[in-house]
Amino acid sequence: MERLVTTSQAAQILGLSLQGVHYRIKNNQLKSIKKSGKTYVYISEHVEDKSKKDEKPVEIIEIKELIKVKDEQIDLLKKNMKWMKKQYTSEILRLEKNQKKIIEVFNREIDLLQSAFNEMRAIYKPKIENKNYNKEEQNKQNTQKEFNYITLQQFTKMMKAYGKSDLEIKTIILTGVKSKDHRFLYDKKSKKVIIKDSDFKDFL
């Protein structure tokens, strides 16, 4: 004869844990039935009720099964870690390879830009310099048009007419250039002194 008990009662009678009862139901080691959403187990009346004993024996099979499940979980975790490590290493190598390609492309672009800049500079620099030179010459000509100038010989002759010696004349000119007297202009290109036709009474 068999009696119908709950899974909790079956665990007490058989001296198992609740997990052990469900494990045996799953593996068809215990006959069961579901009623109103609850699971009931058929227990033979000849089965010794271990719940009445002071000590419950440890189920070796249950422990082995738990260890087996844990080992399977550990193996799965190890496989996952190995796969993730492989993916991570592969991704790092891919990124490093792409980084090298990007740097090479940038370097080529920089070389092209530098080459283009040098070509443009070679073409336009002489034109710019020539334009600036023409502008300076134009300014100089405009300045010369605004003022009348006398030659160094004319200035020397004028000073000598007022009794100035050659040394005094040279001193006047050098002093005028150094003090930036507007009447004495030194042209760096021609390395000549340009003298405005002006009043020189202060030298007399």
Same domain, 51 and 85: no
Q: Residue 55: what pLDDT?
A: 47
Q: Residue 39: what pLDDT?
A: 92
**Averaged pLDDT score across all residues of the chain:** 83
CATH label of the domain that carries residue 29 = 1.10.10
Query: Structural domain of residue 21, as residue ranges?
Result: 2-56
Average pLDDT over residues 106-135: 83
Same domain, 42 and 96: no
The yes-or-no verdict on residue 171 having pLDDT over 60 is: yes
Last residue of a domain, one of 56, 74, 97: 56
Same domain, 88 and 131: yes
Give CA–CA dist 75/71, Å, rounded: 6
Same domain, 166 and 189: yes
Same domain, 45 and 98: no
Domain count, the chain: 3
Instruction: Quick: pLDDT tens for 31-74.
Output: 999 988 899 999 988 777 666 654 445 456 667 777 888 888 89
Q: What is the pTM of this model?
A: 0.29
Same domain, 136 and 64: yes
Give CA–CA dist 49/31, Å, rounded: 17
Residues 6+ apart with CB under 8 A from 169: 155, 156, 159, 160
Give CA–CA dist 132/137, Å, rounded: 9
Q: Residue 23: what pLDDT?
A: 92
Give CA–CA dist 141/132, Å, rounded: 14
Inter-CA distances, 114 with 101, 109, 119, 129, Å: 20, 9, 9, 21
Same domain, 182 and 112: no
Instruction: Quick: pLDDT tens for 87-119.
Output: 888 889 889 888 888 898 888 889 888 888 888
